Amino acid sequence: MKKNDLFYQVALSLLEGIGGKNARYLYMYCGSAQNIFQKWTTDDFHKKIPGIGLKTAEKITKNKKEVLKKAEEIIEKCEKNDVQILSLFEKNTDFPDALRNYDDAPLLMYYKGNAKLNDKKIIGIVGTRQATDYGRDAVEKILIDLAPYRPLVISGLAYGIDIAAHKTALKLGLETVGVMASGLDIIYPAEHRKIAFEMIENGGLLTENPFGTTPDPRRFPARNRIIAGMVDALIVAEAQQTGGAIITVDIANDYNKDVFAVPSSIKNTDSLGCNMLIQQNKAMLVNSGIEIAQFLEWDNSQRINKQIRMNLDELDLNEFEKKILQYLKEKGETQIDILAYQLQKPIHELNALLLNLELLNLIKSVPGQKFSLKN
């Protein structure tokens, strides 16, 4: 086998107890993954790289031979099964660019499919595994509305809302990618193998886990961060007040992603998670896919109109409203309490001004009691 740097990157990703942050430090200081395994010694790791203690350095050196052997086996399986290895360190791969900005991004991802992971509008749909007809109908309505924009639909291949999103996307002729908490050879749940194979032909399967990895509980939150990080917007179709969907929303909020939630019926006490997210300002209430497309400015005409409206001199605004727009233009996304302090305006008065600017479609509210310009 030709041992290029990708081979050594696979080996690097297999070093246990190192962590993604230290692995990136290793790569940066050593200059390449190959140098880690061929040129650097225990003393080099310990003395030259911040955050690498002696025990960690010894562990790296001790496990080199074992992980190199495993890397060879993994690459052979990938070649045999037409699986792409996408590297964080390589710019010319289909590695999701949206993930590159995050400290917890996976070093490598294994991908089988034909959807492009970077050149499309990307939405994520998540929710409860105990989906009701209401939740499944919400998924269908939203995707029917969004279908003309041809988004890539991301979800987690789980029971309930996840699989409803994948099935509906395929029915509408949209590409859909399942992000897995296991290796590509272990479809979980097994009942979804048929739909998973359909997705490979019309989207794909994606995971950070090598072949043979079982879907242990700890891997699901890690899987959720990939979904949250890849998407332009995350949609919660139906959710309980705890669980994976809520975790994914929290991660998406940390990543400053746009999050939408479909309000749920107060009669169904097992599906009040969406209402909770809206109430806590962690997600924006949404009734249709059209609203999402408008918010994300997927229509060129919307962007043109917005550029025209942003000439402040032509707007009938009071001085404080102009100050708000000017501040957001200069500082970007800002929490309401910071706005109140900087503009010396009580929050209850500021709220009325912000509402007016939202109604004029000049600003938008985002989770975390923050506001930003809509341009």
Q: Mean pLDDT of all residues in the chain?
A: 89
* Domain stop point among 251, 269, 295: 295
DSSP state of 120: S
For residues 262 and 137, is the Cβ–Cβ distance under 8 A?
no
| 123 and 210 co-located in one domain | yes
Residue 311: band (very low, low, confident or very high) from pLDDT cuts 50, 70, 90: low
End position of a domain, from candidates 279, 295, 311 = 295
Q: What is the pLDDT at residue 375? A: 59
Q: Please, what's the b/e burial string for 122-143 (b: 16 or more CB within 10 A of its CB; e: otherwise)? A: bbbbbbbbebbeebbebbbbbb
Report strand pairing: 370-373 vs 363-366. antiparallel
Q: Is residue 2 over pLDDT 80?
A: no
How far apart (Å, rounded) are the C-alpha atoms in residues 315 and 157?
48
Position 227 scores a pLDDT of: 98
Is 98 within 8 Å of 86 (Cβ atoms)? Answer: no
Boundary-marking domain end, from 62, 80, 98:
80
Q: Which domain holds residue 347?
A: 301-373
**Domain match, 197 and 268 both:** yes
CB atoms within 10 A of CB 369: 15
pLDDT digits (tens, 9 = 90+) for 103-146: 889 999 999 999 999 977 999 999 999 999 999 999 999 999 99
pLDDT-based confidence at residue 315 (cuts at 50, 70, 90): low
- The pLDDT, as a whole number, for residue 305 is 44
Q: Do 158 and 280 sit in the same domain of this protein?
A: yes
Neighbouring-strand partners of residue 109: 86
Burial of 258 (0-12, 13-18, 19+ CB in 10 A): buried
Q: Rounded to two decimals, what is the model's pTM?
A: 0.78
Domain assignment present for residue 95? The answer is no
CA-CA-CA-CA torsion sign (293, 136, 272, 154) = negative
Whole-number pLDDT of residue 143: 96
Q: Is residue 105 part of a domain?
A: no
Q: What is the pLDDT of residue 267?
A: 83
Has residue 301 got a pLDDT over 60?
no
Clarify whether residues 150 and 290 are in a common domain: yes
Is 87 domain-assigned?
no
Query: Is 45 inside a domain boundary?
Result: yes
Q: Cα dist. 316→5, 67, 153, 170 in Å?
A: 59, 66, 40, 47
258 with 357, same domain?
Answer: no
Q: Mark whether 263 and 309 lie in a shared domain.
A: no
Report the number of distinct structural domains present in the chain. 3
| Residue range 262-280, pLDDT digits in tens | 999 888 887 899 999 999 9
Q: What is the rounded CA–CA span in Å between residue 15 and residue 54?
A: 15
Same domain, 17 and 62: yes
Do 60 and 135 have their domain in common?
Answer: no
Domain membership of residue 97 (yes or no) is no
Over 50: is that where the pLDDT of 307 sits?
A: no
Mean pLDDT of the region 324-349: 84
What's the gap between Cα 329 and its chain centre?
A: 26
Least confident residue range of 97-111, 268-282, 323-337: 323-337
Whether residue 337 sits in one domain with residue 280: no
Instruction: Please report whether residue 69 resides in a domain.
Output: yes
Distance CA 280, CA 282 (A): 5
Q: Give the residue-averaged pLDDT of 329-337.
A: 83
Tell me the pLDDT tens digit for each residue of 25-78: 888 888 888 988 888 888 888 777 777 788 878 888 888 889 999 999 999 999
Q: Are residues 341 and 285 in the same domain?
A: no
In this structure, is residue 211 part of a structural domain?
yes
Residue type, 221: P
Work out the average pLDDT over 83-96: 89
61: three-class secondary structure by DSSP: helix
Asked whether the predicted pLDDT for residue 167 surpasses 90, the reply is: yes
What's residue 314's pLDDT?
A: 57
74: CATH: 1.10.150
In a domain, 243, yes or no: yes
CATH of the domain at 117: 3.40.50.450
Kindly report the CATH number assigned to the domain that includes residue 357: 1.10.10.10
What is the percent of the chain where pLDDT is above 70?
A: 95
Tokens 């792409």, located at residue: 84
266 and 306 in a single domain? The answer is no
From 204, 203, 223, select the one nearest 213 (Cα to Cα): 223
Q: What pLDDT is recorded for position 159?
A: 97
Do 307 and 257 lie in one domain? The reply is no
Confidence label for 182 from pLDDT (cuts 50, 70 and 90): very high
Residues 83 and 327: their CA atoms lie apart, in Å, by 48
